[in-house]
Each structure stands twice: as C-alpha cells, then as structure tokens.
C-alpha cells in the first residue's frame, strides 16, 4: 500500500485538466445529495417532490387540495420500473412555461421571499432526471390553468449537457369541464420492498396529520413480502378524507428585511434599482424601513439622502451595508409565513392518533438573520395513541430508554422522515436532554407524541434532500419554549389524573370498611336495644359515607386550583 518517495515519478508532467459542468450535469452526477441515493429512496423522494409541488399549487393559492398519488409497476417485463403519477387540482402551469419549468435545472418559481414547501426548485427535475437515466422514459405532464380553456400535454426530458428541455410530443385539448390542475407522470427504476412502502405511506399519513383540509389518495402495489411483481398484482389504496374546510392563511410575498440581505444582495439590488434617490431606494425595496429609518441609516453611512443609487461606489455601498447592520429594526413581518395553527394541529393529531390528551401551541413570529420563522408544536398522550403510531415512529422508539418520545418533524408543512438524530428538533426533545421523566413526571413506560413544525421563508435544511434542520440558535430556543409549554400542560393533566385515581382508590377502600367501623362504634352505646344499636350503626354508616364523599370533593377542589 505504500511506496518509497524516491520511486515517485517527477511531477513536472502533472497538469490538471479543467471543465465546466452544466447545472443538470452537476445534480445528475450527485443525485444522492438531493435524496436520490438508491432505487428505494428515489421512489420515496419522487413521490415527495411531486406531492409537495401539488400542495404548493393548491393550498398556497387558497384551494382545498385534492391530491391523487399512484405508484404502479410499468409492466411485468420490467418488474423494477415504476410509474409515479401525481394529480392535483392546483392553479396549473401556463403551457409556454412547462418545458423550461421541468426541463431546466435551477429554473423555478420557488425563488421568492415566501414560505413554500419547495425551496430549491430542484426536486421534480431530479425525479425526471432519475427516470431518464434509469429507464430512459421521458416525463409526461398534463396541465391546465383555471383561466385557460385548454388542457396541455408535454412529453419531454432534459438535455443534461445543455441544461435545456427536449420536447418529444406536445398537444392541447379543448376543456369540457372547469378542471384545472396538473398531472405529472414519471417512470423510474425503483425497489418495492417493505421499507419503501412504509416510508411512502408514513410520508402521506404525516402529511395528512398536518393538512386535515386536504383530500389525499395513495394507490400503490400491495407489498406481499416478495420483491418481484407479476403482471396483474393487487394494489393497496389509502385515503385521507378532508376533515375540515379551514385553510391556513396563505403566505404573502413581501420585500426582504434589511437584516436578511448580504452585501452582494445590496449591490445587486442597487444595480437593478430604478429609484432616483438612495433614500427612496431604501424605503421602496425593504420592509421595516420608513423615512426616519432611511435617514438614520444614510447619516451613519455618511451618504446624502438624494444621491442616485447607481452612482455609489463600492466603498460607499460597503459603508451603507455596515450602517444597515448597525441600526435596529422591527423584526421581520410574518406575512410571508403560513403556520398551520393550533386548531388544525389538534384536529390532525386527534384524527390520526386518537389519543387521550392532545394540545398544541403556535409561538409568536421570530427571526434569524432577517428570515422570519414561526415554531408550532403539538403533543399527544395516552388513549389509542401507541396502536396508531406509524412504522417510522416505532423504529425510532425502539432505540430509546423510556419515557418514549415519538417525534413528528415538519418544516414548511413537509414531514421530515430521514436523519432524525441529526436534526435540531431531536436535539431538543430527545429523552436524554429533555427531562421528561423528572421535570415532567412521565413514567418510564409512557409514550408521548411530539409534533414540531418550523415555518420559515428560509428553512435551514442541512441538504437539498430536505431531511434535517441545521442548528440555528434562535430556532432552537423557540422549539424548546414550545415543547416545554406543552410538556407543562401535559404534566398538569397527568398529575391531576393520578391524584383523582388515588383519591378514588382511597375512597373505595374507606367505603369498604365503613360498615365494619360503624358496627364497632355502635358498640360503645350502652343501654340500648339491639334494634336501636342497629339503627345507630346505620346512621353512623351514612354519616361516615357523607364525610368520605365530602372529603373526596375537597380533594377534587384542591386539585382544581
């Protein structure tokens, strides 16, 4: 394995050859960083990406989502080719944009200051690429906007070297109905095993928990233990019906917050600005900058209010940048955020887990580095909860040493299933670091479901696969505060419950002995006939019962406080 340095050829011949990659080529070579690391994972990731696009195309625009996901083996000759098709009733995609929107990497509508599930505008294209490189089958899409009277069809794949779409077929039909939405269809090489099935169905289940206003249907091959599928195999159908017509408030696109921009952004927006004066530029291009604030900033930077932005030199822009970072601003507006809300979280948890206790909290908007975010959390305990846990929660619990925490992580309404242990949220709620046992009075055998949702215009994912959230102190604090509050409420419930059970137990025992006690007391009455003594005994008995009942009431009342 080693050799002597003397044996090394002189390196004077060495010159590295360089070349440029297209974005498609880069992501195509590095699929795994977008979650396409194996046929099994690729199938899961494909479903995810299209479902998330569908929800972004509906809910965000005030439409109650109807989403149908179908996974099927292409044909018996290719048992590991799977066709994934996702249909939604969303706003649709204008036909002229379709080819670029799906055939060009880094061409997207996600690059906005607004909360959406998608962030990188990459997912669907990665699925298309993956299908193309594993099965060679092009991507198919039907789409229609509500305003259009046509349904458009495209069959395309990506020219990886040029990063542009290759359109094989396109067509249009007159619309007979008022249908609008999108049907996306891709055929990829997959691996249908129990794990794949579990992850996909759990993903859909957890999506349903957090989107009880959505109608979601999942059709997939029935997994019968064996990998290979024969031609006509059964399929498994899972439906999550809409249980409420309430939609979260959709996010509103807003201007960036001054603390959210960096020097480069400032330079770019100045170079593109149409504002006559720098003061005007500041007021028009950022939130939280009024006349006073703009003047304060410019004074510190030593720049006249009416300078033309275009004429500022680099030194001046840097001074401006530093002065922006040095002054105080109202924290970012939560308008671009769309939290789920306590009500919907509780509905979702009840609906799917059927627990004995459920509660939820939505924290006030906060921000990190100029990006607004809201942390929400839900908690569920007891009842039929443990039977209703999904496979992934069960697996996670196996590794723990009680009290057991089943964590449901969400970011911008996306369930996060992989890399739990690397996630900021787990680092807060895990039983080793969060004192569920002593501080919050849980038994070692208790199972608690904790749901945490982070909504932000910029979720600090650790990777484009969107599976775990990086350590950001501001977010960490909020998650901690939210879960602590819910844990306190749960403790209150549990303590009260235990007290009641004890009191009832005491009472039961007491009642059992009352007759006997009454008898014995009655003995002390001398010079009375047996009948009278019996009567006395009965009177004593009822008095004692009255006392006992009163006593229990008092216990109850004490507990109420």
Binding site, by residue number, is: 53, 88, 109-110, 118-125, 466
Question: Closest approach of Cβ 262 to its own copies, in Å?
Answer: 4
Locate 373 and state its tokens.
């975010």
CB of 475 to its own copies, least distance (A): 12
Q: Give the footprint of its own copies on residues 341-360 (CB under 8 A).
A: 341-344
Counting Cβ atoms within 10 Å, is residue 238 exposed (0-12), middle (13-18) or buried (19+)? middle
What is the footprint of its own copies within residues 51-80 (CB under 8 A)?
61-64
Among 51, 82, 86, 132, which residue sits at the site for its own copies (rule: CB under 8 A)?
Answer: 132
Task: Give the position of tokens 């703009």.
Answer: 294
Give the interface segment with its own copies, choosing from 214-222, 281-289, 333-341, 349-357 (CB under 8 A).
Answer: 333-341
Residues 487-526, interacting with its own copies (CB under 8 A): none
Residue 265 binds its own copies (CB under 8 A)? yes
| Chain residues 4-23 in contact with its own copies, contact rule CB under 8 A | 4-5, 8-9, 11-12, 14-23
Which residues are known binding-site members for ATP? Answer: 53, 88, 109-110, 118-125, 466
- In the list 42, 55, 84, 101, the residue contacting its own copies (rule: CB under 8 A) is 101
We find the least distance from the C-beta atom of residue 104 to its own copies, in angstroms, to be 7
Longest Cα pair distance anywhere in the chain, in angstroms? 126
x/- site string to its own copies, residues 362 to 391, per CB under 8 A?
Answer: x-----------------------------
Choose the binding region for its own copies from 144-152, 381-389, 403-411, 436-444 (rule: CB under 8 A).
144-152
Site membership for its own copies, residue 308 (CB under 8 A):
no
Q: 3-class DSSP state for residue 90? A: coil
Please say whether the beta carbons of 118 and 110 come within 8 A: yes
Cis omega (within 30 of 0) on the bond before 403?
Answer: yes
Our CB check for its own copies shows the closer of 346 and 559 to be 346
Q: Which CB sits closer to its own copies, 107 or 203?
A: 107
75, 111, 302, 501: which one binds its own copies (CB under 8 A): 111
Q: Which of 75, 169, 226, 262 binds its own copies (CB under 8 A)?
A: 262
Query: Which C-beta is closer to its own copies: that of 381 or that of 426?
Result: 426
Nearest alpha-carbon partner for 457 in 112, 109, 55, 54: 112
Nearest to 385 by CA among 448, 431, 442: 448
Report d(CA 466, CA 288) in Å as an integer: 30
Considering only CA atoms, which of 2, 54, 414, 1 is closest in space to residue 215? 54
Nearer to its own copies, 160 or 544 (CB): 160
Residue 381 and residue 367 in contact, taking contact as beta carbons nearer than 8 Å: no
Contacts of 434 (CB under 8 A, 6+ apart): 405, 428, 483, 487
Name the segment binding its own copies (CB under 8 A); options: 92-100, 216-224, 487-495, 550-558.
92-100
Q: How far apart are CA 194 and CA 464, in angstroms?
A: 25
**445 phi/psi in degrees, rounded to 5:** -95, -5
Pick the binder of its own copies from 172, 237, 268, 528 (CB under 8 A): 268
Q: How far apart are CA 132 and CA 33, in angstroms?
A: 18
Tokens linked to 95: 């036909």
Residues 222-261 that bind its own copies (CB under 8 A): 245-249
Residue 505 CA to chain centroid, in angstroms?
43
Evaluate whether 69 touches 216 at the Cβ level (below 8 Å).
yes
Site for its own copies in 157-216 (CB under 8 A): 160-161
User: Residue 313 interacts with its own copies (CB under 8 A)?
Assistant: no
Give the number of residues in contact with its own copies, rule: CB under 8 A: 93
CB contact burial 294-328 (16+ within 10 A = b; e otherwise):
bebbbeebebeeebebeebeeebbebbbebbeeee
Q: Decide whether 225 or 399 has the Cβ nearer to its own copies.
A: 399
User: Strand 404-411 relative to strand 447-456: parallel, antiparallel, unpaired?
Assistant: parallel
- Residue 234 φ/ψ, nearest 5 degrees: -70, 160
Q: Which is nearer to its own copies, 21 or 238 (CB)?
A: 21
Token readout for 238 is 């899972």
136 or 302: whose CB is closer to its own copies? Answer: 136
Smallest distance from the beta carbon of 92 to its own copies, in angstroms? 9
Residues 6+ apart with CB under 8 A from 196: 40, 43, 44, 190
Dihedral sign computed on CA atoms, order 5, 9, 15, 17? negative
Among 44, 50, 82, 107, binds its own copies (CB under 8 A): 107
Which region, judged by CB under 8 A, interacts with its own copies, from 131-139, 219-227, 404-412, 443-451? 131-139
Question: Of these, 69, 91, 186, 408, which contacts its own copies (CB under 8 A)?
Answer: 91
Residues 23-42 that bind its own copies (CB under 8 A): 23, 25-26, 28-30, 32-33, 37-38
Query: What does the alpha-carbon distance between residue 213 and residue 66 come to, in Å, rounded to a whole number?
Result: 9
Binding letters toward its own copies, positions 532-561, x by CB under 8 A: ------------------------------
Q: How far is the CB of 50 from its own copies (least distance, A)?
A: 16
Can you tell me the distance from the alpha carbon of 537 to that of 531, in angstroms, rounded to the nearest whole number?
10
Selected binder of its own copies within 147, 176, 274, 512 (CB under 8 A): 147
- Site residues (CB under 8 A) for its own copies, limited to 415-474: 419, 421-422, 432, 460-465, 468, 470, 472
Q: CA Rg, the chain, in Å? A: 32
Residue selected from 103, 332, 339, 403 as contacting its own copies according to rule CB under 8 A:
339
Which listed residue (76, 136, 162, 523) binds its own copies by CB under 8 A? 136
Q: What are the DSSP calls for 203-225, one per residue?
A: HHHHHHHH-TT-EEEEEEE---S
């Amino acid at each position: 394995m080693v050799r002597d340095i003397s044996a090394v050829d002189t390196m004077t011949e060495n010159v590295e050859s360089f070349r440029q990659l297209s974005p498609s080529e880069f992501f195509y070579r590095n699929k795994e960083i977008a979650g396409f690391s194996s046929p099994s994972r690729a199938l899961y990731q494909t479903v995810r990406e299209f479902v998330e696009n569908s929800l972004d195309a509906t809910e965000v625009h005030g439409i109650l989502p109807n989403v149908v996901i179908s996974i099927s083996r292409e044909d018996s000759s290719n048992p590991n080719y799977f066709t994934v098709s996702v249909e939604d009733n969303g706003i649709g995609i204008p036909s002229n944009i379709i080819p670029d929107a799906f055939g060009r990497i880094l061409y997207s509508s996600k690059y906005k200051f607004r909360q959406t599930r998608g962030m990188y505008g990459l997912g669907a294209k990665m699925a298309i690429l993956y299908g193309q490189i594993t099965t060679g089958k092009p991507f198919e899409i039907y789409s229609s906007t509500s305003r259009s009277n046509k349904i458009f069809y495209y069959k395309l794949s990506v020219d990886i070297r040029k990063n542009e779409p290759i359109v094989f077929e396109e067509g249009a039909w007159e619309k007979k109905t008022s249908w609008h939405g999108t049907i996306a269809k891709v055929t990829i090489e997959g691996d249908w095993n129990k794990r794949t099935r579990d992850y996909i169905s759990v993903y859909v289940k957890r999506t349903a928990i957090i989107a009880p206003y959505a109608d979601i249907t999942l059709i997939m091959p029935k997994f019968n233990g064996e990998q290979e599928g024969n031609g006509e195999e059964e399929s498994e159908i899972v439906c999550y019906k809409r249980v409420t017509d309430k939609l979260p408030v959709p996010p509103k696109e807003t201007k960036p917050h001054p603390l959210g921009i960096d020097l480069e952004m400032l330079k770019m927006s100045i170079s593109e600005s149409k504002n006559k004066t720098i003061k005007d530029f500041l007021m028009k291009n950022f939130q939280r900058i009024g006349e006073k604030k703009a003047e304060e900033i410019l004074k510190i930077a030593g720049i006249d209010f009416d300078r033309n932005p275009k004429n500022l030199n680099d030194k001046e822009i840097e001074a401006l940048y530093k002065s922006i970072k040095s002054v105080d601003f109202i924290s970012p507006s939560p308008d671009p955020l769309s939290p789920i809300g306590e009500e919907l979280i509780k509905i979702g948890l009840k609906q799917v887990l059927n627990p004995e206790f459920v509660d939820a909290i939505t924290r006030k908007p906060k921000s990190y580095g100029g990006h607004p975010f809201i942390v929400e959390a839900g908690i569920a305990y007891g009842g039929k909860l443990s039977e209703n846990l999904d496979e992934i929660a069960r697996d996670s619990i196996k590794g723990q040493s009680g009290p057991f925490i089943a964590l449901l992580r969400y970011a911008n309404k996306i369930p996060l299933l992989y890399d739990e242990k690397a996630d900021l949220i787990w680092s807060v709620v895990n039983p080793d670091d969060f004192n569920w046992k002593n501080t919050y009075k849980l038994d070692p055998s208790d199972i608690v479901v904790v749901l945490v949702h982070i909504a932000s215009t910029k979720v600090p994912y650790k990777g484009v696969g969107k599976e775990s959230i990086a350590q950001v102190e501001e977010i960490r604090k909020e998650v901690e505060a939210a879960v602590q509050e819910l844990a306190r409420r749960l403790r209150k419930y549990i303590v009260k419950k235990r007290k009641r059970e004890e009191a009832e137990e005491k009472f039961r025992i007491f009642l059992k002995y009352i007759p006997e006690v009454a008898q014995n007391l009655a003995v002390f009455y001398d010079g009375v006939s047996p009948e009278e003594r019996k009567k006395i005994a009965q009177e004593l008995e009822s008095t004692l019962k009255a006392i006992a009942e009163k006593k229990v009431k008092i216990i109850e009342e004490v507990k109420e406080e």
